[in-house]
């Protein structure tokens, strides 16, 4: 899975990306039309408000697995997944449903 690492590109995604939120996560997406490489990239964000490092890492891990189950990374898209409170305790099916709904609202087809 390709991850988005450049601070400039992450800032651009947060500034210009389409935003969709749910109870457990926020999804930001930006189409990569000008890029030579059509593969999609993903970044997982879990802020300090969620708790300690162990909990934040768990949140990123469950989002990463849900992203894989939803068919990500998505071709021609840069996507940021931001954890909200409660995602660490949510079931996999709850996270998958909310991620699919967010992807559909933005217009990314989940496979």
Q: What is the pLDDT of residues 57-97, one digit of tens each?
A: 999 999 999 999 999 888 889 999 999 988 988 999 999 99
Return the H-helix or E-strand segment holding 107: none
Ordered structural domains, the chain, with CATH: 7-106 (3.30.230.10)
Strand arrangement of the beta sheet that strand 41-45 belongs to: 18-21, 25-31, 77-83, 41-45
Question: CA torsion 96→101→103→104, rounded to 10°?
Answer: 140
- CA–CA dist 54, 102 (Å, integer): 26
Look at 2-6, 43-47, 74-78 and tell me which has the smallest mean pLDDT. 2-6
- CA–CA dist 86, 80 (Å, integer): 18
Tell me what pLDDT residue 6 has.
86
Mean pLDDT computed over 40-57: 93
Q: Is the pLDDT of residue 109 over 80?
A: no
More confident position, 51 or 2: 51
pLDDT band at 110 (very low <50, low <70, confident <90, very high): low
- CA–CA dist 48, 90 (Å, integer): 19
């Amino acid at each position: 899975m390709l991850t988005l690492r450049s601070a400039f590109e992450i800032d651009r995604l947060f500034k210009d990306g389409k935003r969709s939120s749910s109870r457990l996560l926020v999804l930001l997406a930006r189409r990569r039309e000008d890029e030579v490489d059509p593969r999609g990239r993903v970044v997982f964000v879990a802020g300090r408000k969620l708790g300690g490092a162990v909990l934040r890492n768990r949140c990123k891990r469950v989002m990463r697995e849900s992203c894989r189950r939803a068919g990500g990374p998505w071709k021609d898209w840069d996507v940021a997944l931001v954890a909200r409170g409660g995602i660490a305790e949510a079931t996999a099916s709850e996270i998958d449903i909310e991620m699919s709904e967010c992807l559909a609202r933005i217009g990314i087809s989940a496979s």
